[in-house]
Amino acid sequence: MPEDVRAALQGVIADLKRIPDVLAVSIVRRDGLPIVHSLPKAMNPKKIAAMAAAIVGTSEMAAVEMGQGDFIQSIVDSHGGKLLATGAGEEALLVTMVKEDANMGLVLLSVDRAVQTIAQLLDGDELLQTEAQT
Amino acid sequence: MSDVRPSEASRARTGIPVLDERLKGGFPRPSTLLFFSDKPTEKRLFAEHFAVEGAKAGEGALYVDFYRAPQLARRELGQFGHFAPDQITFVDAISSQLLMPSTEPYRVEDVGDLRGIIETVERAIEERRPSRVIVDSMEFLADRFPKEDVLREWRRLIDVAHRAGSVICFLFINWTYRDRDLQEIRQMSDFVVEFQSSMRGGIVRNTMRISEVGDGGVQTSWIPYTFKDFIGVTVYFPRILVTGPFNAGKSTVVRSLSEKAISIDRMGTTVAFDYGNVNVMGIEAELFGTPGQERFEFIFQIFAREVSGVLLVVDATRTEDFDRAKHMLELVGPRIPYVVLANKSDLPGALDPEAIARRMDLPAGTPVIPTVATASRGVRDALLVLAEMIIGVR
Amino acid sequence: MTDLWGQLEAVIEELSRVSDIQAAAVVRRDGLVITHTLPDGVDPKIVAAMTAAIVGTSEMATVQLSQGRFNRALVESDEGKLISTGAGEEALLVALLYKDANLGLVLMAMERAARQVDEILRRGTGR
């Protein structure tokens, strides 16, 4: 991936992280490989990327199977916070971890903006092919 | 009912191909079957299925019912499929209990008269010469009459059925008899079909197993079954896992076997699972394909529970993935029957089954089936081989 | 055993009567159907497998991220929502919601239903 694109993606993450309610952010491929992230060292970016891909892939299929239209996002709600996963173009997902009582209005607006930026940066390019691993 | 007796060589099919295979075509004629459980189960379903199977084949059946009026029984038997009404004769043991008139040619006038009851059944067998006889069920008699009398009449019935060349099935749920008596009843029979029903996490699992009395005969494992309208009893595998290394062809296998399948995949790889439903040769199975990539192994923790069997799919041209394939078997757990599909067997460089078995160091006797999943070649065979393994080969 | 099933059906039917809930299902954590009120045209077996995948994976993600105990997973689409949650050790509860559903009411109803399902299953297996 060209350095300028990577830097731009990291910029998107940095912008999101400026919101105090946002704890961690990760941009991953829809096939479960991490691209860039800001997760604390204790967390495994590869596992999170794969799980996010599984959750979104399944949720998108669920929306189709149950006639609920187009998937928008998935929110995993737990005691310590929420985990949002949203499509960011054809090949990527944005995974955002927020605090328990986050101001969701602000978070969702920011996530919305972020995924559009990511999609523009990644879609239509051969960029992600170069990240291919098994 | 047909007057032509089926030839002694032909056997009484269950209509479930994997079972009939195991039975070399079906139950021999004549023979005595014991349909047994020690708790309430669905064994009557199987008896009804067996009666209707005979009727559908133009073989007459006699149904001795101590619990339902013939009209009701006939209606319920209709769920198993269509058959000519005169192919099943009932012995009506209810009408007299309810003090109602009966139009059935064979009816029990007095349920307090054991000899009378048995005489009626014997007469029906001798006059109608049915190919299959169902007695539903013996505990009705065991509850009302002394054990010695019941056992004696039981033996007489077996004799009469035997002379008429019939396959006679006795349903029996054991409330009161001791082990010794149960042993005696087993010894009077040629085959024992046992039924169990258990619940796991809110789901009822019905299983049955067939044992031939005596040494070295047929012996199946516990076979899960279910009932489908108009088809009747089918063997049912709630989960067959289709797994193997990345890109071996797992999703293709699931899709090729199923009428309708879904695959959750992105950018050329499965990210969650494949799911399909297959119904073939009297077997219904739910197929579950796992992702092949290591990063998705957590999926096994969710889905690799109550796995009936595994279709392990490998790319026959990629020996470097064989170790990974074996690792994935470990993720499923020990002692689960599996069959190896040597997929892409049409490609140059594809190893043959013997070579694959050697390279993978598979236990002796593990089936390795060459397949071309994209052309649906060999896939169904592999499933049937797995089904036979699960049911128990002997 | 059939009594247990009847009880579970009653819980699901009551849940489905909540006005914003279109349909609901109780499924086993490994993705097999227990009971449901899903409409024709929606395959309950597929819903069960997907619910198990979503909840199972979400629970594991929650552990990975040290986010404490998993509560529920919500899938938002432009024409409806899907909520799935645990219902005891063995089961999950999933509800299909109409678009613009009032989540507060729905979540309360689901929590109650999940507790009832858990209770019924525990009684049923004598635990």
Q: Do C30 and B306 touch (CB under 8 A)?
A: yes
What is the three-class DSSP state of B270?
strand
In contact, B239 and B308? CB cutoff 8 Å? yes
> Which of B251, B266, B288 to probe the A interface (max A CBs under 10 A)?
B266
What pLDDT, on a 0 to 100 scale, did the predictor assign at position B135?
97
Cβ–Cβ contact B238 with C under 8 A: yes
In contact, B149 and B114? CB cutoff 8 Å? yes
- The more confident residue out of B394 and C99 is C99
Q: Do A75 and C74 touch (CB under 8 A)?
A: yes
Question: Amino acid identity, residue A91?
Answer: E
What pLDDT, on a 0 to 100 scale, did the predictor assign at position C126?
62
Domain limits at C84?
2-124
In contact, B140 and B67? CB cutoff 8 Å? yes
Q: Does pLDDT of B11 surpass 50?
A: yes
Nearest Cα of chain B lies from the Cα of A86 at a distance, in angstroms, of 15
Note the pLDDT tens digit of each residue in B55-77: 998 889 999 999 998 989 999 99
Note the pLDDT tens digit of each residue in C62-91: 999 988 999 999 999 999 999 999 999 999
Q: Is B5 part of any domain?
A: no
Q: Which of residues 43-72 of C touch B (CB under 8 A)?
A: 43, 45-46, 49, 52-53, 56-57, 60
For strand B223-228 and strand B232-243, is the pairing parallel, antiparallel, or unpaired? antiparallel
| Mean pLDDT of the residues in chain C | 93
Residue B221 sits in the same domain as residue B293: no
CATH code for the domain of C70: 3.30.450.30
What pLDDT, on a 0 to 100 scale, did the predictor assign at position B46?
94
Query: Alpha-carbon dihedral of residues A108, A111, A116, A122, nearest 10 degrees?
Result: -150
The number of residues making up chain C comes to 127
Q: How many domains does chain B have?
A: 2
Q: Does pLDDT of A124 surpass 70?
A: no
CATH code for the domain of B367: 3.40.50.300
Q: How many domains does chain C have?
A: 1
On chain A, the residues whose CB falls within 8 A of the CB of B293 are 32, 50, 134
Q: Is B8 part of any domain?
A: no
Q: Which of residues 12-31 of C touch B (CB under 8 A)?
A: 26, 28-31
Nearest to A55 among C58, C72, C80 (CB): C58
Note the pLDDT tens digit of each residue in B263-272: 999 999 999 9
| Block residue for tokens 């024992």 | B192
Measured CA to CA, the distance from residue B78 to residue B91 in angstroms comes to: 17
ipTM: 0.94
Report which of B91, B25, B85 is spatially closest to residue B60, judged by C-alpha positions: B85
What is the three-class DSSP state of B196?
strand
Residue B224 sits in the same domain as residue B170: yes
What is the token pair recorded at B131?
């190919």
Residue B247 sits in the same domain as residue B379: yes
* Domain end (from B230, B249, B281): B230
Q: Is B6 part of any domain?
A: no
In contact, C92 and B202? CB cutoff 8 Å? no
Per-residue pLDDT band for B230 (boundaries 50, 70, 90) equals confident
Domain limits at B246?
237-391
Residue B334 sits in the same domain as residue B292: yes
Q: Does pLDDT of C1 surpass 60?
A: no
On chain B, the residues whose CB falls within 8 A of the CB of A57 are 264-266, 271-272
- The more confident residue out of A134 and B334 is B334
Note the pLDDT tens digit of each residue in A13-61: 999 999 999 999 999 999 999 999 999 888 999 999 999 999 999 999 9
| Block residue for tokens 């999609």 | A119
In contact, C46 and A58? CB cutoff 8 Å? no
Q: Does pLDDT of C48 surpass 90?
A: yes
What is the three-class DSSP state of B56?
helix
On chain C, the residues whose CB falls within 8 A of the CB of B277 are 45
What pLDDT, on a 0 to 100 scale, did the predictor assign at position A128?
57
CA B176 vs CA B240, B375, B378: distances in Å? 39, 57, 50
Angle at A90 between CA A89 and CA A96, to 5 degrees: 50
Q: Does pLDDT of B7 surpass 60?
A: no
Q: How is residue B215 annotated by DSSP?
A: T
* Domain end (from B230, B247, B281): B230
What is the three-class DSSP state of A99?
strand
Counting residues of chain A whose pLDDT is more than 90, the rounded percentage is: 84
Residue B362 sits in the same domain as residue B254: yes
Q: Is B157 part of any domain?
A: yes
Measured CA to CA, the distance from residue C12 to residue C7 in angstroms comes to: 9
Counting residues of chain B whose pLDDT is more than 90, the rounded percentage is: 76
Q: Does pLDDT of A126 surpass 80?
A: no
Long-range contacts of range C99-105, CB-CB < 8 Å, 24 or more positions apart? C101/C20, C101/C21, C102/C20, C105/C18, C105/C20
Cβ–Cβ contact A134 with B under 8 A: yes
In contact, A21 and A81? CB cutoff 8 Å? no
Measured CA to CA, the distance from residue C36 to residue C34 in angstroms comes to: 7
Residue B200 sits in the same domain as residue B322: no
Residue B46 sits in the same domain as residue B160: yes
Q: Does pLDDT of C25 surpass 70?
A: yes
Q: Which residue of C has its CA nearest to B205?
A: C1
Measured CA to CA, the distance from residue C91 to residue C27 in angstroms comes to: 6
> Which of B275, B279, B286, B296 to probe the C interface (max C CBs under 10 A)?
B275
Q: Is B90 part of any domain?
A: yes
Q: Does pLDDT of B392 surpass 90?
A: no
Per-residue pLDDT band for B80 (boundaries 50, 70, 90) equals confident
Measured CA to CA, the distance from residue B339 to residue B134 in angstroms comes to: 38
The full DSSP string for chain C is -HHHHHHHHHHHHHHHTSTTEEEEEEEETTS-EEEE-PPTTS-HHHHHHHHHHHHHHHHHHHHHTT--SEEEEEEEETTEEEEEEE-SSSEEEEEEEETT--HHHHHHHHHHHHHHHHHHHHHHTT-
Residue B387 sits in the same domain as residue B283: yes
What pLDDT, on a 0 to 100 scale, did the predictor assign at position B94?
87
Residue B335 sits in the same domain as residue B353: yes
Residue B147 sits in the same domain as residue B219: yes
* Residues B314-328, mean pLDDT to the nearest whole number: 96
On chain B, the residues whose CB falls within 8 A of the CB of A33 are 295
Counting residues of chain C whose pLDDT is more than 70, the rounded percentage is: 96
Residue B338 sits in the same domain as residue B374: yes
Cβ–Cβ contact B298 with A under 8 A: yes
All domains of chain A, ordered by start, with CATH?
A: 3-129 (3.30.450.30)
Per-residue pLDDT band for B2 (boundaries 50, 70, 90) equals very low
Q: Does pLDDT of B6 surpass 50?
A: no
Chain A contact partners (≥3 CB pairs within 8 A): B, C
Q: Is B1 part of any domain?
A: no
Look at B2-6, B112-116, B227-231 and tell me which has the smallest mean pLDDT: B2-6
* Residues C88-116, mean pLDDT to the nearest whole number: 95
Q: Does pLDDT of B4 surpass 60?
A: no
Q: Does pLDDT of A130 surpass 80?
A: no
Counting residues of chain B whose pLDDT is more than 70, the rounded percentage is: 97
The full DSSP string for B58-122 is T--EEEEESSS-HHHHHHHHGGG----GGGEEEEE-STTTTT-----SEE-S-TT-HHHHHHHHH
Residue B224 sits in the same domain as residue B245: no
For strand B61-65 and strand B132-136, is the pairing parallel, antiparallel, or unpaired? parallel
Q: Does pLDDT of B377 surpass 70?
A: yes
On chain B, the residues whose CB falls within 8 A of the CB of C29 are 201, 302
* Domain end (from B230, B253, B284): B230
